Structures are given as C-alpha cells and as structure tokens.
Amino acid sequence: MTGTATGSATLPKPLDEGLAAVERAMLKVTDSQVDVLRDASRHILGAGGKRIRPRLLLLSYMALGGLELNRVARPAAAIELMHTASVVHDDINDHGIMRRGRPSVNAAWGRTFALLTGDYLFTAVYELMAPFGELNVDLAQAATALVEGETLQATAVKDNNFSRDVYMRVIALKTAALFRAAGAIGAKLAGASKSEVHALAEFGFNLGLAFQIVDDILDLVGDEDRLGKTSGIDRDQGRGVAVALGADKGNGSGSPPDPLEAIKRKMLEGDTTDMARGHANLLISSAIDSLGALEETPAKQALVELAREVINRDR
Amino acid sequence: MTGTATGSATLPKPLDEGLAAVERAMLKVTDSQVDVLRDASRHILGAGGKRIRPRLLLLSYMALGGLELNRVARPAAAIELMHTASVVHDDINDHGIMRRGRPSVNAAWGRTFALLTGDYLFTAVYELMAPFGELNVDLAQAATALVEGETLQATAVKDNNFSRDVYMRVIALKTAALFRAAGAIGAKLAGASKSEVHALAEFGFNLGLAFQIVDDILDLVGDEDRLGKTSGIDRDQGRGVAVALGADKGNGSGSPPDPLEAIKRKMLEGDTTDMARGHANLLISSAIDSLGALEETPAKQALVELAREVINRDR
C-alpha cells in the first residue's frame, strides 16, 4: 500500500506517464510488417478515444500501492486493444462509418481489411498478455464475455425481444466484464489481497454498467459531431437502452422495420431516459462504495473522479 | 524420452485417446451460454476436418517422451480452434459457402454471426491457453503471423502482384507459423531440450509449407465433392499457388477480371502444378530430415507417416 495521501497534486504525473507508456505499447505491438494492418491500427489508435479502461487499470494498480507504471502498461494496453478490436468488428456489423471523429476502418479500408484488422488487434492483445501468466485467465474470460454480449445483442435484435433483462445481461457481458477485468488485473499486479481485488473488480463492473448505459443514452440523444461516431445506430438497429427502456426521441431514419416496431410499442411506456440515468447514478454510487475499505490516496480519489466523469460526460 | 521402439502397434491407442480428449476440450470450451455461438461452433467442429495440427502437437509431444496426453489436449485443442477461427472468418471474406462438407457458418448463420463466431473461437483459444504460461508466447506469435499472412494475401490480390516470393511469404505466415507452433509447443510440453524443440519446430514449419502448397494444388485441380469445400476460390480470388506459380486448368468461372488477367499472363509460363508438387516433396524431405536426431519410436514413425500423408492426400 502507498503511504498517506499527499494531495491530488501528486497523482497526474505518474498517471500521465503510465498512459503515455500505454500508447507506446499499443503502437509497438501493432507495428506490423504488413502495411495495411499497421496503417489501419494507427488510424484507429491515433484517433484517441477516452482510454477509460487503461485509466481504470492504472489507477486500480496505483490505488493499491503499485509504483511501476511502466510494468503495467502492457496489460493496460491489452485491455484497450481488446476494446478497440471489438469496435472495429462492430463497425462492420453495424455499418458504422464514423468512429472517434474519423472514418471507421470499415469505411476507409473496406470490410475484408476491417475484419482482418480486428483479428490482428485480438492477436496483439494475446501477444501483449502472453508473459503475464495467470492474469491471462481474467482477460480471456472478459474477452469471451465481450463476444457473447455482442452476440446476445445481435440475437435479441434479430428475434425482436430486447427486454430490460436481456439489455442488462448484454451490457454486463459486452462492457462491464472488461471493466471488471481492468480493475481486477490492476489490483492483482499491485499484489493486492483477495478482498482488495474483489473491491476493484466490483468497482470496475458497476462502472462498466453505468458507462454503457450513459453511452446508450448519448447514442440516443447525443449530437453526432460531439460524439465523433455515427449516433442513433443503437436505435436504428433496435437495441440499446433506447429499446430496452422504451425511450425514443422520434428522429429515427433508415430503421429496419421490425426493431422500429418494437421501439414504437415500447414508446407507449413513456420517456425513460431519465430512469436510465437514475439507474446509472445508482451503479456509480455502488461502485464508489466498493472502494470504502481502501486507504485514502490520490489514486483512490482519482478513481472516484473517474466514476463521476462517467456519469457526467456528454460524449 | 520414451524407451526403445516397440512397433507401431503401441501408438494408435494413446494418440486416439489424445485426439478424443482434444475433441472434448474443444466442445467444452465452446459450450457458450449464448445459443448461436454454441450451435455455430458445434456445426463447424462437428464436421470433422483433418485435425492435422493437433495430431502434430500430440505426436511431437509423444516423440519426445511425453506420456500425459490428457494434459496436452488443451493446447492441441487451442491450435485447432485457432485454425477454425481463421477458417470461419475466411469464409466471410471469400464468400465460401461450403466447408468440411457442410454449409459454412457464413452461409448458415449469415455474416454478422459468422464474424462473431470467429471472434468467439479466438477467445476460446485464449481461454484454453491461459494456464500455460510461456507457451502463450509461441501461440500468440503464430496467431499474429496467421492474420498477417491472410492480410498480405488479400493485399497482393487487391494490388494484383501475387508473385512467387509473396506466395511463399504468405504461406509461411498464414499456415506454416501455426504448424511450427504445434511442433514447438508439443516438444516444450514434453520437457524437450532446446535443440529438440528446434527440430520439431522446423519439422512443423516445413510440413506446414508443404501442406499449404498441396492444399492450393487441390483447390486448383480438386473435385468439390471430395474436398468438402468450395474449390477454385483461390483461383477465382487471384491468389494461391495457381496464380503464384502460373498454372490454371482453364475451368474458371465467375472470376473477377483483374486476378484472372494475372492468371492468364502467368499461364504462358506453362503448367507448373508439377513444379509446385516437386517443391512440396522437397519440403517434406526436409521436414523428415529435421527428425534425424530423435530416437526411433512409434511416435517418430507416426510423424514421418503424417508428413507422407500430407504430400499424398487427395482432399
């Protein structure tokens, strides 16, 4: 464990250095001998993104006394690349043409190369994690959950049964499992106790649920320019919080017939975006509660701030 | 190391038991809670396939004295699943509608679920291998090579520059690297020396090159019913040994214009299928030579037979 808290002024530098090391690790592992894989990887990675998963991993590590930010850059990079791989494949299945303010890999390189770039990023995750022994179990489970969540979502859209229960199961699998792994792996790398690992895993899990709910609300009501990605995809595809919770702002276009019908039916239940935001707020409180037993440190404070940022973000 | 050779009669049973354990491991790790992932995985795995990669891993292990076939079933299953994942994604990019005598996952479930099933099989590889420490480095490198090889191939087709050099580089990456990993991982699991690991890695690598060349010849001249997959894809897509070595049997249909033009140009060089087969024969001899220093055991003999089977197969 770190010593006593010395004020948040001591935090930003090591975190920023850790995040810079994460960027370097991601670029290094994707420096393929095959031009299109290197170029497409740099295209999507160079567009930035919130980097919330590596921040969660690094801060979990620091909050439990970890000091070697360079050592944990690789697992943190792996977690971000896992997310990035799924995003590249998502944009194929969803026909998303914008991502992080740039054309999606699918839009810029076409479907074949987007599929291969996503595969390549998956194998880059594997390369980064290979030396990390047992931690591979955590990330492998999260990776499987992620794909299961995406598939469950696609199945629910196809079968037109996107209920609240299915929605919660989908976001637990496709988003919160990876957030949980980020918290758990960060804690384990710091040599944390079992209960500390559990606390950070729970923090990550609830943060991930809240993050996805807010993401889905933004997808529904957000402004495309500010989001930097094609918005309304969830509603058009008949999934997400919009469908699950029955809210629709009524500006849908190009929606396939069945999901739209489902949305309209559920609209009768009223505007539930506020309800969804209330649920996200509860999850954030619950996440912050998980940190109760942790020593007060700048890193713990930064985790709390991260949680608040998730609920207050507008993109 | 095993004792002296006791005749090939002692071999089949442990190998068969090992392969049965591999099947069980593959089914267990793909027993998803999400129906479509479980069903599509069983569809492609249940169709059989040659299982040459797990056989190579198990025999490499046995040839170096390994006795616990159950212990190595997981890595052997992981290698077969890695191959299977790439096959599922290949069938999306190539519009392959038959695979192993059944409709491809793409044909049966559509593109979205085929993409997700391939991703799922990748994560199953990761789950299977997670407990195997340093061996993950070997498989991760092979996985990256595989995707790089597929991408290099797609790039060469797109740019219409599928030369012999590019062809050899493609098959080294997309096929031989995984065969090399199978040999090396089998040897390492048996606690082999560095030079023994090197010998099995080299055996696998050359076997993989020969396997792919023969595969490409069969794709060119083979009978669709016997192959159990859509044949002529390589020629139609302007790639493979057909294009690289300039041979074409002249029964192409539905070929896109540019690759076909390239094939026709190269046809002027004459029928080079025999040349390709000659090259594959040399690679097989070279593979068998790599085993020279190994003790004569039934498992070593089975590796030699496996190499001969690769060159003599007609499907």
Which residue among B119, B136, B150 sits closest to A136, beta carbon to beta carbon?
B136
Please indicate if any CB of chain B lies within 8 Å of the CB of A152. Answer: yes
Q: Is the pLDDT of residue B225 over 80?
A: no
pTM of the entire predicted model = 0.88
Q: How far B310 CA sits from the closest chain A CA (Å)? A: 28
Please report which confidence band the pLDDT of residue A313 belongs to, taking 50, 70 and 90 as the band edges: confident
User: In B, which residues are within 8 Å of A89 by CB distance?
Assistant: 115-116, 119
Question: Which pLDDT value is given to residue A100?
Answer: 87
Which residue among A140, A150, A152 sits closest to B126, beta carbon to beta carbon?
A140
Which residue among B122, B152, B155 sits closest to A122, beta carbon to beta carbon?
B122
Q: How far A30 CA sits from the closest chain B CA (Å)? A: 10
Tokens of B21: 């354990």
User: If you average pLDDT over residues A211-233, what whole number do you get?
Assistant: 73
Contacts of B269 (CB under 8 A, 6+ apart): B246
Q: Is the pLDDT of residue B223 over 90?
A: no
Do residue A111 and residue B93 have CB atoms under 8 angstroms apart? yes
Higher pLDDT, A211 or A250: A211
Do residue B115 and residue A133 have CB atoms under 8 angstroms apart? no
User: If you average pLDDT over residues B6-30, what whole number do you get?
Assistant: 83
Do residue B148 and residue A111 have CB atoms under 8 angstroms apart? no
Please indicate if any CB of chain A lies within 8 Å of the CB of B34. Answer: yes
Measure the CA–CA gap between A205 and A228, rounded to whole angstroms.
Answer: 25
Please indicate if any CB of chain B lies within 8 Å of the CB of A15. Answer: no
**Cα-to-chain-centroid distance, residue B1:** 27
Which residue among B116, B130, B151 sits closest to A147, beta carbon to beta carbon?
B116
Give counts: helices (H), strands (E), chain A.
16, 2
Please indicate if any CB of chain A lies within 8 Å of the CB of B124. Answer: yes
User: In B, which residues are within 8 Å of A113 by CB distance?
Assistant: 151, 154
Residues B228-255: pLDDT tens digits?
A: 666 666 667 767 665 665 533 333 344 3
Q: What dihedral do alpha carbons A38, A44, A50, A54 form, nearest 10°?
A: -30
Q: How far A125 CA sits from the closest chain B CA (Å)? A: 9
Termini Cα distance of chain A: 34
Chain mean pLDDT for chain B: 86
Do residue B123 and residue A140 have CB atoms under 8 angstroms apart? yes
Which residue among B115, B129, B151 sits closest to A113, beta carbon to beta carbon?
B151
Question: Which pLDDT value is given to residue B17?
Answer: 94
Q: Which of A:69-88 have CB within 8 Å of B?
A: 86
Which residue among B119, B120, B148 sits closest to A37, beta carbon to beta carbon?
B148
What is the residue whose two structure tokens read 């170096």? B64
Please indicate if any CB of chain B lies within 8 Å of the CB of A169. Answer: no
Chain mean pLDDT for chain A: 86
Do residue A144 and residue B124 have CB atoms under 8 angstroms apart? yes
Which residue of chain B has the CA closest to A82? B123
Question: Which pLDDT value is given to residue B206?
Answer: 98
Question: Which pLDDT value is given to residue A250?
Answer: 38
User: If you average pLDDT over residues A262-284, what whole number do you get?
Assistant: 68
Do residue B113 and residue A151 have CB atoms under 8 angstroms apart? yes
Q: Which of B:85-104 have CB within 8 Å of A?
A: 86, 89, 92-93
Residues B268-294: pLDDT tens digits?
A: 344 577 788 889 999 999 999 999 999
Give counts: helices (H), strands (E), chain B.
16, 2
Which residue of chain B has the CA closest to A112? B93
Please indicate if any CB of chain B lies within 8 Å of the CB of A177. Answer: no
Please indicate if any CB of chain B lies within 8 Å of the CB of A233. Answer: no
User: If you average pLDDT over residues B152-178, what whole number do you get?
Assistant: 91
Residues A28-37: pLDDT tens digits?
A: 999 999 999 9
Q: Is the pLDDT of residue B6 over 60?
A: no
Q: How far B296 CA sits from the closest chain A CA (Å)? A: 34
User: If you average pLDDT over residues B214-240, what whole number do you get?
Assistant: 69
Do residue A147 and residue B35 have CB atoms under 8 angstroms apart? no
Percent of chain B topping pLDDT 70: 81
Please indicate if any CB of chain A lies within 8 Å of the CB of B312. Answer: no
Of the candidates B277, B260, B217, the one whose C-alpha atom is nearest the C-alpha of residue B241 is B217
Lowest mean pLDDT, pick from A105-114, A258-267, B212-221: A258-267
Please indicate if any CB of chain A lies within 8 Å of the CB of B121. Answer: no
Full set of structural domains in chain B with CATH: 8-312 (1.10.600.10)
Do residue A151 and residue B37 have CB atoms under 8 angstroms apart? yes
Please report which confidence band the pLDDT of residue A161 belongs to, taking 50, 70 and 90 as the band edges: confident
Do residue A119 and residue B89 have CB atoms under 8 angstroms apart? yes
Do residue A147 and residue B115 have CB atoms under 8 angstroms apart? no
> Strand A102-103 relative to strand B98-99: parallel, antiparallel, unpaired?
unpaired
Please report which confidence band the pLDDT of residue A271 belongs to, taking 50, 70 and 90 as the band edges: low
Measure the CA–CA gap between B166 and B151, rounded to whole angstroms.
Answer: 12
Do residue B92 and residue A115 have CB atoms under 8 angstroms apart? yes
Q: How far A97 CA sits from the closest chain B CA (Å)? A: 16
Q: Is the pLDDT of residue A265 over 50?
A: no
Question: Which pLDDT value is given to residue A224?
Answer: 56
Residues A171-193: pLDDT tens digits?
A: 999 999 999 999 999 999 999 99
Measure the CA–CA gap between A84 and A162, rounded to whole angstroms.
Answer: 25
Question: Which pLDDT value is given to residue A221?
Answer: 72
Question: Which pLDDT value is given to residue B160?
Answer: 84
Contacts of B18 (CB under 8 A, 6+ apart): B54, B58, B62, B69, B70, B72, B73, B76
Please report which confidence band the pLDDT of residue B80 belongs to, taking 50, 70 and 90 as the band edges: very high
DSSP A276-308: HHHHHHHHHHHHHHHTTTS---HHHHHHHHHHH
Please indicate if any CB of chain A lies within 8 Å of the CB of B233. Answer: no
Please indicate if any CB of chain A lies within 8 Å of the CB of B161. Answer: no
Q: How far A212 CA sits from the closest chain B CA (Å)? A: 20
Which residue among A32, A147, A155 sits closest to B120, beta carbon to beta carbon?
A147
Please report which confidence band the pLDDT of residue B8 belongs to, taking 50, 70 and 90 as the band edges: very low
Please report which confidence band the pLDDT of residue B100 belongs to, taking 50, 70 and 90 as the band edges: confident
Please indicate if any CB of chain B lies within 8 Å of the CB of A301. Answer: no
Is the Cβ–Cβ distance between A90 and A147 less than 8 Å?
no
Lowest mean pLDDT, pick from A41-50, A243-252, A267-276, B278-287: A243-252
Contacts of B238 (CB under 8 A, 6+ apart): B157, B160, B162, B255, B256, B258, B259, B260, B262, B263
Lowest mean pLDDT, pick from B26-40, B91-105, B185-199: B91-105
Q: What dihedral do alpha carbons B35, B40, B46, B52 form, nearest 10°?
A: -130
Which residue among A34, A150, A155 sits closest to B152, beta carbon to beta carbon?
A34
Please report which confidence band the pLDDT of residue B190 belongs to, taking 50, 70 and 90 as the band edges: very high
